[in-house]
Amino acid sequence: MTGDFPRHRLTVVSGPSGVGKSSVVGELRRLRPDIFYSVSVTTRKPRPGEVDGVHYHFIDRAAFDAMVAKGELLEHAEFTGNCYGTPRAAVERALAEGRPAVLEIELQGARQVRAAMPQARLVMLMPPSWEELVGRLTGRGTEAEAAVQARLAEAERELAAAGEFDERLVNAEVRTAAEQLLDLIVGKDS
């Protein structure tokens, strides 16, 4: 892959569904549009308001499998019945240009990035409490009941893996969490 890059250059943001990863990374994007934000491919159907090429590249299963077969994904995972993956080329280009890069992905993908690029920094976004997470996830209103239950089960597994991460950030307030994330990205190697 790209060879060496400093530890703070590639940041993986993970955390259970509903913890506010998209909001925090969205706020970071407003603060620092110069950072590279990976746009994943997914076989999930777009939610209302999601734009192809902006929030995700929405593709079908055959196209996804072809990308996997060709090694075009840096990592990929199945999550509650849909496939997600990080296109490799764009991330490698950003790193080669010396731009910090941020991936917002789930746990299995974070583990794959850790294995492929041990110098990446893994950050887990945590809810202030389990009750708060349940409230956020059920209040989203975009998912059917069964999907919410699947995401809650997945959330328990993800939180249990918090110890594998380099950093854990509690998302009590989006702006604060985004600033803390930025501190990690622009801070000195640690």
Asked whether position 127 contacts ligand 5GP by CB under 6 A, the answer is no
- Toward ligand 5GP, which CB reaches closer, 4 or 134? 134
Torsion angle, CA of 152/157/159/162, rounded to 10 degrees?
Answer: -160
Asked whether position 43 contacts ligand 5GP by CB under 6 A, the answer is no
Residues 72-101, mask of contacts with ligand 5GP (x by CB under 6 A):
---x-x-x----xxx---------------
Phi-psi region of 80 (alpha: psi -120 to 50; beta: other; left: phi over 0): left
Asked whether position 21 contacts ligand 5GP by CB under 6 A, the answer is yes
CA distance 97 to 93: 6
Name the segment binding ligand 5GP (CB under 6 A); options: 61-69, 103-111, 131-139, 177-185: 103-111
Nearest-CB residue to ligand 5GP? 109
CA distance 121 to 57: 25
Sign of CA dihedral 170, 155, 136, 54: positive
Cβ 110 to ligand 5GP shortest distance, Å: 7
Which residues in this chain contact ligand 5GP in the complex, by CB under 6 A? 17, 21, 40, 44, 75, 77, 79, 84-86, 104-106, 108-109
